[in-house]
Amino acid sequence: MEDDLAGRRKSRAGLRRVWNALLYSFDGIKAAFRHEHGFRQEVFLAVILIPVASMLPVEGSGKAMMIASILLVLVVELLNSAVEATVDRISLEHHQLAKRAKDIGSAAVFVSLVNVVVVWALVLFG
C-alpha cells in the first residue's frame, strides 16, 4: 500500500514535476547555505575561482575542468551535509557507525578539495 502511495506521488509528469524538482533543489541549496558553514566557505571559494578560471588564458577544456572541479566540491559538500543531517536525525547519541559515516563524508569533501588543487596545477603548470 505504501509503495502505491509513493508511486502516485512520484508520478507527476511534465513541467509541473520539473518545476517542483527545481524548487526542491533551491530549498536544499538555501538550507545548506543557512546551516552549513563549510558550504558557505566553499561557495565563497567558487564565487572567486570560477570567474578567475573564466579569465585565465587557457584552453576551453582546461577552463571547463577547473570550473568542474570547483562545482564538484559543492556537490560533494551537499551530499556530505545530507548524510550528516540524516545521521543526526536518527540519533545524536555517539555511535561508531555514525562517526564512520560522518568521517567518510568529510573525507570525500577533502578529496574533492585536493582534486581542485591537482586540476588547477595541471592546467596551469602542465
Cα dist from 36 to 5, 15, 51, 90, whole Å: 33, 31, 23, 19
Grid cell, residue 89, equals 536525525
Amino acid at 114: V
77 is catalytic: yes
CB 44 within 8 A of CB 36: no
Q: Which of 42, 77, 84, 93 is catalytic?
A: 77
Q: Quick one: which of 64, 72, 68, 78 has its CA closest to 32?
A: 78
Residues labelled as active-site residues: 77
